[in-house]
Structure 1
């Protein structure tokens, strides 16, 4: 293994969960810079698909059972420098609550028009496009 590979941090998989024209957002107990509210997300484990990690992290953080629909895209996050993947998910069971009280302070189902109040710096374009299509009439 090269020195560079040894220092690479695992990618982060985020779940974009839309239900009843609202998107699930969580507020971390410890914010990452400006990032306070974000989508359920966490590190991709070795050998795990990005979409599977998004589903697992949503279940671990919020208790909600979701299914991956499609990978929306990935990028190096401009605020954290972490490789991020974004997966559109649908709810298949359960009710969202703060399941991981060590990581999360609260969660919210956010209407399309309120997203900028939670994420004032804007969203990754493929995520915004998906939310526009999924949440607007």
Structure 2
């Protein structure tokens, strides 16, 4: 019975928190996830894949941006989606962010600290907010 529960369990989602030149990268999905519209580049962690590697891969697949993982900021069950979320701080190592996966994404944008609530009007997970407070331009 335990095996069946594990097979049906949804894979965790790894989100890339990318701050570059005082701005954070956000993407807008074509299909909203609950009330979520703008969010970090993110996707499911594949079998045998580290959450850090998933954040790097999803960023490249969705936006074409090459990033390197820096650290895991935290993990939680998202209050809107019920999915396990792992937040990974990443830094840009190459490329330019654009909509590469136009099946999933409608657009992407870089936001500074002042504009951020225009994109995301609700509070971030506390460890993510602390990271953004340190590195975003006001």
* TM-score, normalization by structure 1: 0.97
- Structure 2 segments unaligned to the other structure (5+ residues): none
Runs of 4+ deviating beyond 6 Å: none
1:106 aligns with 2:137: no
User: 1:136 Cα deviation (Å)?
Assistant: 4.3
User: 1:117 Cα deviation (Å)?
Assistant: 1.4
Give the secondary structure class of the aligned counterpart of 1:37: strand
Give the secondary structure class of the aligned counterpart of 1:2: helix
Count of residues in Structure 1 that have an aligned counterpart in Structure 2: 137
- Structure 1 segments unaligned to the other structure (5+ residues): none
1:7, 1:121 → 2: CA distance? Answer: 30
Partner of residue 64, structure 1: 65
* TM-score, normalization by structure 2: 0.96
C-alpha deviations, 1:69-100, integer Å up to 9, x for none?
00000000000000000000000000010000
Give the secondary structure class of the aligned counterpart of 1:78: coil
Cα RMSD for the two superposed structures: 1.0
Give the secondary structure class of the aligned counterpart of 1:57: helix
Partner of residue 50, structure 1: 51
